[in-house]
Amino acid sequence: MLLDIIDVKPKDNFLLFLTFENGEKKEFDCKPLFDKKVFKPLREKYFFNKAKVLYGTVVWNDEIDISPETLYIDSKKIN
């Protein structure tokens, strides 16, 4: 089942606090993505903090996004 993201909050240490449409709250660490060329701009804190939700996933501009599946599977549940 594909779950859309309804809210994102960029946090310190390149973490994203995510809220999914089912109400689950999770934390995603973006640092492991930094070795991939497409994600290198996210190393800049100013740019990273521009994360927003668009069409159910997290985006930064027209070129950088992370699939909701990846965000859900690779994130840690927040109590």
Mean pLDDT to the nearest integer, 5-13 = 97
In the chain, the number of structural domains is: 1
Chain-centroid distance of CA 42 in Å reads 11
Give Cβ neighbours of residue 58 (< 8 Å, ≥ 6 apart): 5, 8, 16, 18, 51, 52, 65, 66, 71
User: Looking at residue 17, which CATH number applies to its domain?
Assistant: 3.30.2020.10
- Take residue 55 and report the two structure tokens written for it: 């069409």
pLDDT in tens, 16-64: 999 999 999 999 999 999 999 999 999 999 999 999 999 999 999 988 9
Q: Please report which confidence band the pLDDT of residue 70 belongs to, taking 50, 70 and 90 as the band edges.
A: very high
Token pair, residue 47, equals 């740019």
- Domain ranges, residue 20: 5-77
Asked whether the beta carbons of 19 and 27 are under 8 A apart, the reply is no
Distance CA 30, CA 59 (A): 13
